Amino acid sequence: MSDMLKSYRFREERESDWRKLDRILTRAENSGVKALSDEDMMALPHLYRQAVSSLSVARSISLDQNVITYLEGLCTRAYFYVYGARTSMGERMAQFIRIDWPEAVRGAVFSTILAACSCSAARHSPSSSAFRTWTGTGPSTARLSARSVRRMPAWMNCCPPSTPNPVTSGRTG
C-alpha cells in the first residue's frame, strides 16, 4: 500500500472528529468558553485525546507532513482549553494583589524581624570584629579588611569617610 493511500485512509477515518474539535475550538476562541454547550464541554477532552493519539500515530508511521502539521496546531489549540488556566489574567492579578501578596508578607514578617534584630545586634556588639574594625578599636584601624567587609551585611558595607573601602579601592586585608 502506498504512503499516499495510507495517509488518505488514516485521514478519512479520523477527520470528522478533528473537524468537530476544530469547530468547538473556533467557537471558544471567538465567543469564549462560556458560549460552549454542555455537550461541547463534555466532548472537548475526549476529542483532544483522540487528536493527540492521531498525532502520535501519524508521527510514528511517517504520514504526510501536512496532516502532522494540522494535528500539531489542533492539539496545541485544544491543550489550552483542556489544561489551561481557569481564570483570566486580570482575575489572576487581582487574586495576587488581594490574597497571595499579603499572605507572603505575613509569612515573612517573623523572619524579617529576626534578621533585622540579629544584624543590629551584631553591628552594635563590642565583641564583634566588624564593630571593632568599624570604630577603630580593633587591630586594623587603617582600613577595613576584606574579610570583615564580607562578613558584614550588605547594608553595613560602607566605610567611615577617613577609611578607604578595600572592595572598591582594590586592596585586600
Domain extent listing, the chain = 3-84, 87-124, 128-173
> What are the mean pLDDT values of the chain's consecutive 10-residue runs (173 residues total)?
70 90 93 88 94 91 84 93 80 89 88 82 60 53 52 54 54 50
The per-residue pLDDT for 151 is 57
* CB contact at 8 A, 61 and 5: no
The three grid cell numbers given for residue 131, joined into one nine-digit string: 564593630
The per-residue pLDDT for 91 is 86
| Separation of alpha carbons 46 and 54, rounded Å | 12
Q: How many CB atoms lie within 10 A of CB 40?
A: 18
The per-residue pLDDT for 73 is 94
The per-residue pLDDT for 83 is 87
**Grid-cell match 566588624, residue found:** 130
pTM of the model: 0.50
Does residue 170 come out as left (phi exceeding 0), alpha (psi in the -120 to 50 range) or beta? left
The per-residue pLDDT for 162 is 52
Kindly report the backbone phi and psi dihedral angles of residue 159, in degrees, each rounded to the nearest multiple of 5, phi listed first: -120, 155
